[in-house]
Homo-oligomer: A and B are copies of this chain.
């Protein structure tokens, strides 16, 4: 039997209550994103302002988190997003999930809001709320260190789990994330950092000594079997490449197939991207690599810029998405300026993808003469200036802090927003990857690459190669089926919790392995099909949140992607056909009508309790 123990912390009353979820719920939703979304759908009142005390943060590990060396130290944050006004989930690696579970809890629910800045300390089951006025305004790295120090830990990010927000979250930037130790890992998207800011919650420290394998019947077998899986995982080529280059091995690959968005998705190929590649940055700027707790892959790359106008103090964690969003997508191809912006984003506490989206929209508005700022693509100095202003909501930075969607609306040019459901898109042009197009447009949290990572098929050919540009009826149906499968698998990864990078090789961890591990750990008797049904259930619960809010229910194609790509290997392609034809097939396969689950679908998934929403 599995047990999922939650501390519900009300910052308005400073009351802490404990809740326990058992097999009846866990077998339907697991933990992480699944359980978080389920509770959010039940608990968050319809129509509230995401910044109101009635909003909640579900900061959940999963029932297998930190129990095996399988990249399982991930944590998901679910909340009503101030960016999209609907449900979001943001996921981070590092060691927070590990220390959260060690603390005695598997999840924290933060509700209410404090009058004064506070931080929360959870140590071996004890929850304390401490004043944080002295930490308000601090950069994320400094805040992590201060919280560790004040609680008797060494200033070493592995010593305990610490989640913090930076000035961006404090100042309610709708594109603020939560830094989740260790180093600069983030629960990035959807403005989760601003929700934390609205609750005047600067940080959370978790630590403890709980034995996570205590309730596993055959402890030795669980360890042996999960170790075997880890070894299999590491035999795959992508896992190995990730260890060497980190996520940014993708720049060269994605650009080479003409799917690399450039200058706010003006085109999908950057001729100037050579110095943004993983290979170039590895050679010139990476100073060390690092692994999340209990992860055999170890993809983290730490960089330094040791001189010049963009030199910064200390090291930064850098990623493919960040390199793109603060590089090619804002027309910037100087790797040092790019890394500087990444460091700033991490320290100020921004969602780096949305930060880049917003800067890109601002640049396009400025070029149109709509935004009263003299900036141009790749204008590194001005962009550094803008980012700092955004964190402090100063001058034009105040408008940018609202994010790309609202910025575009405010300045009368909604078409410069390139995303879905109010959230900007990540580093893949949907016109060049038709499967990913469908994945983007149907993603529940909007503008998303992590609800169904179809490049696994389209680019890596795992488990089989699918032509990313094919638009025959057969291809479209195949892509729709892949996206649906991937959506369920990703809902699983975020709820188990484990890392999506374990699903990029044939040798990776999939539903069969998960069923095996759950049965082993908790005496369950679930099948791989049951696991995928859990994924489907979670995905439908998230969609029901949109239905409840009456917002973003129907999937839409951002009109920009009806324009053909003007240059590069995928020149001439659009996302129109995949949307116009694919979405119908997708809905049919899902048992949905107009983006909405039917009663039959809910019934099949055991979600009848939500039929009142239909």
Contacts and interface: CB of A to CB of B under 8 A. Distances in A.
Interface in A138-190: 138-139, 141-143, 145, 167, 170-171
Contact of A309 (B374, B380, B395): B380
Interface string A375-416: 100011110111011001111111000000000000000000
A385 B138 contact: no
Given A137-B137, A385-B312, A142 B394 contact: yes
Nearest to A170: B137
A369 interface: no
A604 interface: no
A141 B395 contact: yes
B308 A381 contact: yes
Contacts of A382: 311-313
A536 interface: no
Number of chain A interface residues as a range: 35 or more
Interface in A308-339: 308-314, 337
A137 B309 contact: no
A311 B386 CA distance: 10
A232 to B, nearest CB: 41
Contact of A395 (B313, B337, B388, B397): B313
A137 B311 CA distance: 25
Contact of A167 (B137, B145, B347, B380): B137
B311 A381 contact: yes
Nearest to A393: B138
Question: How many copies of the chain does the oligomer comprise?
Answer: 2
A506 interface: no
Interface in A38-93: none
A227 B398 CA distance: 44
Given A137-B393, A138-B392, A381 B305 contact: yes
A340 interface: yes
A313 B389 contact: yes
Contacts of A241: none
Given A145-B395, A394-B347, A381 B310 contact: yes
A313 B381 CA distance: 9
Contacts of A393: 137-138, 142
A381 B138 contact: no
Contact of A381 (B137, B141, B312, B398): B312
A62 B314 CA distance: 48
A306 interface: yes
Nearest to A347: B394
A385 B311 contact: yes
A128 interface: no
A392 B337 contact: no
B305 A139 contact: no
Contacts of A308: 309, 380-381
Contacts of A145: 395
A167 B136 CA distance: 11
A504 to B, nearest CB: 35
Contacts of A137: 137, 167, 170-171, 392-393
A70 to B, nearest CB: 34
A207 to B, nearest CB: 22
Contacts of A312: 381-382, 385
A339 B393 CA distance: 22
A347 to B, nearest CB: 7
Contacts of A141: 394-395
Contacts of A143: 394
A139 B389 CA distance: 8
A373 interface: yes
A145 B310 CA distance: 30
A142 B395 contact: yes
Contacts of A307: 379, 381
A314 B145 CA distance: 35
A193 to B, nearest CB: 15
Contacts of A305: 381
A613 to B, nearest CB: 36
Q: Which 6 A-B pairs have the closest CB atoms?
A: A311-B381, A309-B309, A142-B394, A139-B394, A311-B382, A312-B385
Interface of A: 137-139, 141-143, 145, 167, 170-171, 305-314, 337, 340, 347, 373-375, 379-382, 384-386, 388-389, 392-398
15 contacts: A137-B167, A137-B393, A138-B393, A139-B392, A139-B394, A142-B389, A142-B393, A142-B394, A142-B398, A143-B394, A167-B392, A309-B380, A311-B385, A313-B396, A384-B384
Given A311-B382, A347-B394, 15 more contacts: A137-B171, A137-B392, A137-B393, A139-B394, A139-B395, A142-B392, A142-B393, A307-B379, A309-B310, A309-B381, A311-B381, A312-B381, A312-B385, A313-B385, A388-B388
